[in-house]
Structure 1
Amino acid sequence: MIVSKLFKFSILLSILSLFTVPLTANAATELTVFAAASTTESMNMIAEAYKKSTPDVKILFNFDSSGTLKTQIENGAYCDVYISAGQKQMNQLDIKADPKINTKKLDFLAEGTRFNLVSNKVVLIVPKGHNPKGIKDFKDAVTDKVGIISLGNLDVPVGLYSKEIYESLDLWDKLKSMNKISYASTVKVVLSQVAEGAADCGLVFRTDAATSKAVDVVAEAPQGSHRPIAYPAAIMKETKNMEAAAAFVKFLKGPECEKIFNSIGFSVIGK
């Protein structure tokens, strides 16, 4: 009788285990990472690498312009880690930043987590194999070689850098007055406009050009023509997964991610 009861109890435990195992397997931690559009390819590769070493953490990305991501965070969107393509957008969320930039006194960054992840360069691109007028210099934008030039909006990091470049060449006001600029909401839209031939040329980050087979790079921005390009990253103060977020940020700083960033065309800051 006792043996029979034990046998029935063991069967009951076995049945219950069928239901409890999937629950354990599905209890993965989810990290929401807001990342600048220009990091799309590298961050997707990094997520795949991280999955192999840390399978119990799932990375959920939100890719968009740094300005749009900043606004979403400010308006209450949940985010564990924010990676911007420009300092301005991160500064606007950082209580320690210049109050002339963080005019709303926003305080979204977890103490001591902000750092500069990678750097980039701005390049001039044309459609792949189609450059009949021989565009080869940033100054060509104000000549008859260019009918339409695609630039990022001025609330997008690549747009701000583009403006600085043409200001340094003393050509910004002239370029604006010529009605040649097609403004784009993200650097990926600039890339698409040029790749599809909707624009004769455009300014993008070197890493974006490197991931496209539909454009050619004809020039790099002149040395000193814009502020240094650094991508700041930080953990958000309101994260519900501080330990997991910190572990992911540590991984971002590691040698495996350095190889991935370098393969796309980024330079790891401090290396």
Structure 2
Amino acid sequence: MIWKKVMAAIMAGTLVFALAGCGSGQKETASGGKDKVHLTVFAAASMTETMNQIAKAYEKEHPNVEISFNFDSSGTLKTQIQNGAECDLFISAAQKQMNQLDGSQDKKANPDGLDFVKSDSRVNLLENKVVLVTPEGNPGGIQNFNDMAAKLKAGSIRLVMGNSDVPVGQYTQKILKFYGFDENAIASAGHITYGSNVKEVTTQVKEGSADCGIIYATDAFSAQLKPVDEATKDMCGQVIYPAAVMKNSQHQQEAQAFLDYLKGDAAMQVFKSVGFSPVS
């Protein structure tokens, strides 16, 4: 009987020791950084090439972090976040979509009172340029924005632009307004076609589906399209890309660290190589 009690005590002690060993192993794994953190970044479609390149470099330096992207128009990304999509970091191609998610904004900028943005993380990350591009050979003979306007008025060319719910389309609408155009009238006459994001607009120009298109300088660079003109601030304002960590992110610290990296010299060199610039 005594022998059985001794054996039971030994077995209990062994079990406790084993459990303690498992516990210490889990702590070691967490502290050793073996469990990867998965960051989900929602970024404007115009950032596809640069962000993929930057993420590879970042993951090499931070092997415990794995980054996945959702690239699309800023309007589509904003709607997905609003509808509950998992997102740690959002980078928009315009202030409008970020404002609509930022609880610190007034009712005019954020009419639905949405509160997804961790406001103290929000920064103006980059500036882009809006440019006019043509297919190879420039069959429409379009020289610049003034020439585009004259030929649109004459009905001799077709322009491709972004939809009204995406930033590149909104910048284009400002340009059309600058020249006094009625967008709906021109579109109804068959002289404007649309793309759901800047990549679609770029593709239509590249394929020659339109005589010209209005896109970002960075997309022109990536598609090897040479711009014939660059829009001024008077025509469409500044093209600012704000970025912010999301309040509902489960990895706010890691998302902030990646955002800080995007503001640093290494990432900025990649951005500059395709036509982005720091906000002036």
TM-score, with length taken from structure 1: 0.86
On the 8 A contact 2:245/2:256 being kept in 1, the answer is yes
Distance, in Å, in 1 between the alignment partners of 2:203 and 2:34 is: 38
SS at match of 2:46: helix
**Is residue 271 of structure 2 the alignment partner of residue 264 of structure 1?**
no
Match of 1:104 among 94, 112, 118: 112
**Is residue 173 of structure 2 the alignment partner of residue 166 of structure 1?**
no
Residue deviations 1:108-156, cap 9 Å, x none? 011301110001111111112x22331112213333441x211000000
Residue deviations 1:15-60, cap 9 Å, x none? x9xxx99998862111000000001111111101111211210111
Residue 121 (structure 1) aligns with: 129
- Equivalent residues in 2 for 1:1-271 (5 A)? 27-128=35-136, 130-138=137-145, 139=149, 140-146=151-157, 148-173=158-183, 175-176=186-187, 178-213=189-224, 215-270=225-280
Residue deviations 1:37-90, cap 9 Å, x none? 001111111101111211210111000000000000000000000000011100
Residue 8 (structure 1) aligns with: none
**Which is richer in helix?**
2
Larger Rg: 2
On the 8 A contact 1:123/1:203 being kept in 2, the answer is yes
Aligned-residue offset at 1:260: 0.6
CA RMSD of aligned residues (A): 2.2
Aligned-residue offset at 1:172: 3.8
Distance, in Å, in 2 between the alignment partners of 1:35 and 1:116 is: 14
Aligned residues between the structures: 250
On the 8 A contact 2:187/2:193 being kept in 1, the answer is no
SS at match of 1:269: coil
On the 8 A contact 1:134/1:145 being kept in 2, the answer is no
Residue deviations 1:3-25, cap 9 Å, x none? xxxxxxxxxxxxx9xxx999988
Aligned-residue offset at 1:177: 5.1
Distance, in Å, in 2 between the alignment partners of 1:235 and 1:217 is: 34
SS at match of 1:233: strand
On the 8 A contact 1:28/1:57 being kept in 2, the answer is yes
**5+ residue gaps, structure 2:** 1-21
On the 8 A contact 1:210/1:264 being kept in 2, the answer is yes
On the 8 A contact 1:127/1:216 being kept in 2, the answer is no
**5+ residue gaps, structure 1:** 1-15
Partner amino acid for 1:135?
I
Distance, in Å, in 1 between the alignment partners of 2:269 and 2:182 is: 37
Aligned-residue offset at 1:198: 1.1
Distance, in Å, in 1 between the alignment partners of 2:56 and 2:112 is: 37
- Identity rate, percent: 47
Compared CA separation, residues 141 and 98, structure 1 to 2 (3 A): farther
On the 8 A contact 2:102/2:119 being kept in 1, the answer is no
Report which stretch shifted further, 46-55 or 72-81.
46-55
Residue 6 (structure 2) aligns with: none
Distance, in Å, in 1 between the alignment partners of 2:140 and 2:135 is: 12
Compared CA separation, residues 86 and 111, structure 1 to 2 (3 A): closer
SS at match of 2:120: coil
